[in-house]
């Protein structure tokens, strides 16, 4: 009699998940995906009103969720807030920022604003969650929403590309450091996804043509395209995956 292996579960029942940047766009979609998979999700964002609406929408589905007003750029506040919570089994950080311009026109203030959230904030949020897991002796999954721009260059995106390349670097180092403790660290790298953050790009017909030419599947991304990737990396289905970049880019970086 042949005994077949069993697919590891994609369910997250009994898990606690923290999703930063969860009040809209990719963050909200991923929070919904994790909640639907059974996790108790703490949605974190700066905008208290939108955050409250997002939490209400989660609960209306019969899922478990709560809100935490948090600015990932304030690393001291993040450390204190996360440290005051029970350890999170899953972190998904979707908080991000962009100020696009030709490299020669980059203002130091714009550079600092992007790096402060995309790199410094992301780094210390990961550290805060990892500290809780380490103190409790628990495994966990840390997921950063990176970008296809972490692997290529983009027009008027030198600062943004620099920030996302940096995320890929610290994720690999953290994966090596925390792997023996059972803490996995990965990124999801989307192509252009229609969200409030990307609307200025989609308002430019020339940019839209450029995007559609690059995406081999012939369409721009939707937030729904990110949800399965989030559940996969949060769950036991990806138990041997760490230090990896999951590209959800429609084939952009393949060409």
Strand 90-93 relative to strand 16-20, pairing: parallel
Q: How many alpha carbons fall within 13 Å on the CB side of residue 154?
A: 26
For 139, phi then psi, to 5°, come to -75, 170
Sign of the CA dihedral 83, 55, 93, 138? positive
Q: Which residues does residue 66 pair with via DSSP β-bridges, in sequence order?
A: 42
Instruction: Show the DSSP H helices in the chain as ranges.
Output: 25-36, 48-60, 75-83, 108-115, 122-136, 158-178, 199-202, 205-214, 224-234
CA distance 41 to 43: 6
Q: Which residues are catalytic?
A: 160
CB atoms within 10 A of CB 147: 30
What is the DSSP secondary structure assignment for residue 32, as one 8-state letter?
H
Q: Are 146 and 168 in contact (CB under 8 A)?
A: yes
Q: Which of 90, 95, 84, 164 minimizes the C-alpha distance to 130?
A: 90
Q: Are 33 and 230 in contact (CB under 8 A)?
A: yes
């Amino acid at each position: 009699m042949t005994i077949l292996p069993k697919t590891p579960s994609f369910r997250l029942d009994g898990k606690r998940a923290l999703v930063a940047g969860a009040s809209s766009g990719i963050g909200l979609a991923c929070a919904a995906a994790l909640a639907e998979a059974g996790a108790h999700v703490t949605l974190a964002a700066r905008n208290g009103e939108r955050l409250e609406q997002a939490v209400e929408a989660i609960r209306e589905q019969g899922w478990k969720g709560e809100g935490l007003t948090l600015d990932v750029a304030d690393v001291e506040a993040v450390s204190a807030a996360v440290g005051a919570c029970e350890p999170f089994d899953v972190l998904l950080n979707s908080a991000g920022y962009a100020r696009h311009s030709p490299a020669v026109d980059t203002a130091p203030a714009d550079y600092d604003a992007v790096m402060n959230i995309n790199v410094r904030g992301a780094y210390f949020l990961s550290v805060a969650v990892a500290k809780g897991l380490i103190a409790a002796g628990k495994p966990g999954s840390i997921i950063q929403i990176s970008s296809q721009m972490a692997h290529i260059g983009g027009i008027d995106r030198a600062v943004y590309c620099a920030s996302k390349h940096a995320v890929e670097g610290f994720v690999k180092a953290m994966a090596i450091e925390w792997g023996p403790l059972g803490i996995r660290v990965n990124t999801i790298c989307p192509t252009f996804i229609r969200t409030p953050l990307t609307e200025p790009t989609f308002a430019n017909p020339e940019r839209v043509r450029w995007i559609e030419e690059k995406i081999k599947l012939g369409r721009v991304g939707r937030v729904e395209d990110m949800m399965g990737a989030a559940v996969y990396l949060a769950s036991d289905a990806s138990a041997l995956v760490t230090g990896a970049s999951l590209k959800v880019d429609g084939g952009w970086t393949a060409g």
